[in-house]
Structure 1
């Protein structure tokens, strides 16, 4: 539930709040959406520091502080008299995202429980799959009755009253698995550089595709000739499919995460290829994509957990997420430019191509680690 609250007050917020902000302020829509890109960039730059803080102080104080920081950003946003102030508010929200979203949570659980964190990561990603489903209607209802500024205030109050106290209660004190000294770390099994870069690239491509779909899918489908109602209806299947795939994963815990990774990227590539080449099969394509993308969030936490030592996992999670977050920050701008200049077919073609590259990269990873997939 805490992840749902933080995701809903940051990453997913502008999906329902951007239009009311533009109507009220007259600011350009691209600048309002650009605020999310700014926050993702700030989150990317701070991700390695967050991992080091978790390694030193443990996850509880870091995660607990995330709600307060996002709340400060929302309060600044509510008071924003100008676009510059609004962008500053989203910079602060980006700090909170670095402290409280998946990368920080996965690193915290890995520090506390090592490989035993796998069950918790799967369960949390399952519940968090409802973030947009639960927060979008709530935020839209609050905007209708309170306006967007007071909605920011109300959401900030909820974060202040819930996130820190509940994280402090739910997570144990301490760092958990101790991070070794430099001399001890030199004696540990080091992460294979090729494995590290394959993982980082696979995760970055997956994050870019997820962001492109989240931001541009409705516009792409309309560009293919679907009505707005039909496009929204097609997009609505993604949430249930993502949650469904995570439920299935709960019953497949004995399967090595390498195989889950392969299934995820094949489903994503197949789905995007169908949407690109066979518009009549758009619904089936999005169902396949939704199942694959639902597994992606689990894989991002579990696969490094079984391929790295606990200390490496904690320290490298933030560093590994940096390219993903930078890619996510650039995706709305690059995708919007490509959509406007080359059309929806070109955007879908690029996305399907990237998804195909990810299948090849996972194949290379499995060849690099053949014994691990048994």
Structure 2
């Protein structure tokens, strides 16, 4: 009112906590499993039919996913700021529906430039509808964010198990265009779940005063730099291994059945680690979980480097790597809150996504060049072990920093 005394601006109120996290977990688990399955995991299966029909090279086809990864990283910070200020309910819904529209558009394309343009748009969809904004909603609305994230990732760990054979079956039965239309129809579900199961976002004003959040200040902190370095190393190793682990294991002289079984064990081991963390609940901190997960990465790579061509020895590599992968996925979401606080969570996680863009996009090519130059994969596990050790040291640096004085911890 005019003439009233000035008042001290109040910080934005957090979204009201629901009585139970079950609806939130259900929404995010189903929505993210479908989203990652249709918008990411199914992509490689369309390579062979599109290359055969249009004569595209493997590099031309994979340029689509590279564009998506780059765009997704570039827009991660503004998307995160949007979630911080306006919430993520409608962003997840509209992003999911836009993904369905782009999948349908892919089914109608026969032009390589149009294919690339659609995948550039898919990068924007991935930034809006997948992990970053989804976890921002969980962090701001869940009663117990750590257990909620663990529960969600327990389900999403089966994404490849569900969508790789499903997409292959759809392509075999309906052709690649029909398969894309089916995936587009499935991708409508996450948006409907978001509007039906997620609570409306609480009004969020801009923070003001001495405690105002500054992304520029946050990204210069030792804690942020440590987490960013750790996640960048993990991204390089994860994406690089994802592209090369099968030929690497074949080069060791393992039978094909053993190679495929080892790779297939990654998912169950990863889910087992997440289930154990869910059961522990608040009895562990994200700092301790992150230290364990980051330390397991170089150990796994050393096991890969030193193991003979023996299935039992290489199971140790898969076990350590899958556990590290499963735990670090949760640390990326919940550990950021514990170490850096809730303030500006969306923008901070967006900045962390930017830090992993180049490692994710360059890893497959870099490892391929090493393989070509060395005449084999011999040096690769040692390189990855070194990067893993640097990542573990970087996380230890971040975990050693005191928590933000004004921020509540996870689950408080």
In the TM superposition, what is the alpha-carbon distance from 1:17 to its structure 2 partner?
A: 2.4
1:35 aligns with 2:64: yes
Aligned twin of 1:168 = 195
SS in 1 for 2:75: helix
5 Å-filtered alignment, 1:186-205, equals 186=212, 191=218, 193-205=221-233
Q: Distance in 2 between matches of 1:320 and 1:188?
A: 15
Contact 1:40 1:329 in 2 (8 A): yes
1:155-196 CA-partner distances (Å, limit 9, x unpaired) = 112212x121111011111247x3542325338997471111
Over residues 183-218 of structure 1, what are the superposed CA-to-partner deviations in whole Å (9 max), with x where a residue is unaligned?
A: 253389974711111111111211221111222111
Q: Counterpart in 2 of 1:304?
A: 336
Deviations 1:306-364 (A, max 9, x none): 12332222331111211113321222222333333332122222212111111222333
- Please give the alpha-carbon distance, in whole angstroms, between the structure 1 residues aligned to 2:332 and 2:344: 15
Q: Distance in 2 between matches of 1:321 and 1:371?
A: 21
Give the 4+ runs in structure 1 shifted more than 3 A: 184-192, 366-373
Q: Which runs of 5+ in 1 are unaligned?
A: none
Corresponding residue for residue 357 of structure 1: 390
**Partner residue of 1:9?**
38
Structure 1 residues 149, 365: CA separation in 2 closer, same or farther (over 3 Å shift)? same
1:106 pairs with 2:132? no
Matched residue, 1:252? 280
Task: Verify the 8 A CA contact 1:57 1:174 in the aligned structure 2.
Answer: yes
C-alpha deviations, 1:8-46, integer Å up to 9, x for none? 112212232222222222211122223212111110011
Distance 1:188 1:215 in 2: 37
The aligned length equals: 370
Say if 1:85 and 1:283 are closer, same or farther in 2 by CA, change over 3 A.
Answer: same
Answer yes or no: is 1:340 the counterpart of 2:361: no
Alignment of 1:328 with 2:360, yes or no, is yes
1:278 & 1:292 partners in 2: Cα distance?
A: 18
Q: Equivalent residue for 2:75?
A: 46
Structure 1 window deviating more from structure 2 (346-355 vs 143-152): it is 346-355
Instruction: Provide the residue aligned with 2:8 in structure 1.
Output: none
Residues 242-267 of structure 1, C-alpha deviation per residue, up to 9 Å, x if partnerless? 00000000122221111101111122
* 1:80 has 2:109 as partner: yes
Separation in 2 of the partners of 1:147 and 1:297? 34
- Alpha-carbon contact 2:229-2:395 (below 8 Å) kept: no
Runs of 5+ in structure 2 lacking a partner? 1-29
Deviates more, 1:37-46 or 1:101-110: 101-110
In the alignment, what sits opposite 2:21? none
In the aligned structure 2, how far is the partner of 1:52 from the partner of 1:175? 15
> Any conservation in 2 of the 1:58–1:174 contact (CA below 8 Å)?
yes
- 1:157 aligns with 185
- Flag the structure with higher helix content: 1
Identify the range of structure 1 (320-329 vs 183-192) with the bigger mean alpha-carbon deviation.
Answer: 183-192
Partners of 2:224 and 2:398 within 8 A in 1: no
Q: 1:174 to 1:364 in 2, by over 3 A?
A: closer
Q: CA distance change for structure 1 residues 179 and 331 in 2, over 3 Å: closer, same or farther?
A: farther
Q: Does residue 288 of structure 1 match 2:320?
A: yes
